[in-house]
Structure 1
Amino acid sequence: MRSQHETDIFATLIENYSMAGEYLLEESSSVITKTGLKDITWENLRIKETEMYGMRILGFPALQKETFDNWISINSQPSLLSSWINNPKVNLLSRTEYHNLFNQYDHRWSMFYTLTRPGFSDDFSQALIQLTAFCPITPQYGNLLYMERTSNKWETKLDYVLFNQ
């Protein structure tokens, strides 16, 4: 059951973030556990709303503990994402290919993405996943996405900005 939900979440993210034709590291990335501002913990993410450095930050008040724990656990070791991503329009790259293309002048406007595997609640009604995007020319960003399943569709309900440079 988990693998079908992973496939659905990856398909949703590929569509919503226009990853078609772009590059995705075929190996799941590690969880970013620290930002420049505070530790990413279940307790910190559940804060409904806070203000830091003049920015209003919305948390994930409905985030279940098992969702967060599952996300941390499933990403303790890297995994190949090719088992769950079956979109021929996404260029899955090995770590060596990824870094090689990233540093080539001809790819200076390309987007290079990394994903963690999603963590799920016990009933598969919510998920937590990390998405990062890098472009050699433009600003980079990383988001922690809180997703909920409504009927058979996954939707991003909230995101927590990990970095934006």
Structure 2
Amino acid sequence: MEGLFVLKPAALLAAVWATAGCALLPSDPVRPPVGLRQDGDVLTVLIPDCPGVTVVGAAVTSRSSDATSGLPSWTATGFIGEVRNGVALDTRDWSEVDGSYAGLAAVDIEIDTGTSTYGTVVEPPRDREDLESLPVGHYDVGGEVVEAAEYFDRVADDYPCPTPT
């Protein structure tokens, strides 16, 4: 069988991950989970509150049944809120906002700190109505309802902040 190229299972898996954009190298840091809630029409995201790290932007993109679909529906830059209060995806806590995510049932959410990107997805079976029914001060963290203070304690224990350079 001249000219036949055979990949070993590990090489095949690496090739599939790399071409699918899902390569996770041993040096890639494990990202902490994020918390999510909705108040009215506003989604709020909890991310780690690390000293010296600021939120620089956020995006909400419509999600179809199989993947993210196209350009973001909502973007923001210049976060002026407090991370410990959650990153509210509204007009109040940002210096520049463009677009709207009103009416979108399934979305991808990304928060950019310039050094890290935190993200989550809202799609069935979890929906935005579920996030709106959470008790005040509580967030959905990977399907578990957690108070904000408990989230920050867990993240600090399991995902320590990087040392500022």
Q: Same fold (TM over 0.5)?
A: no
Normalized against structure 2, the TM-score is what?
Answer: 0.30
Larger radius of gyration: 2
Normalized against structure 1, the TM-score is what?
Answer: 0.30
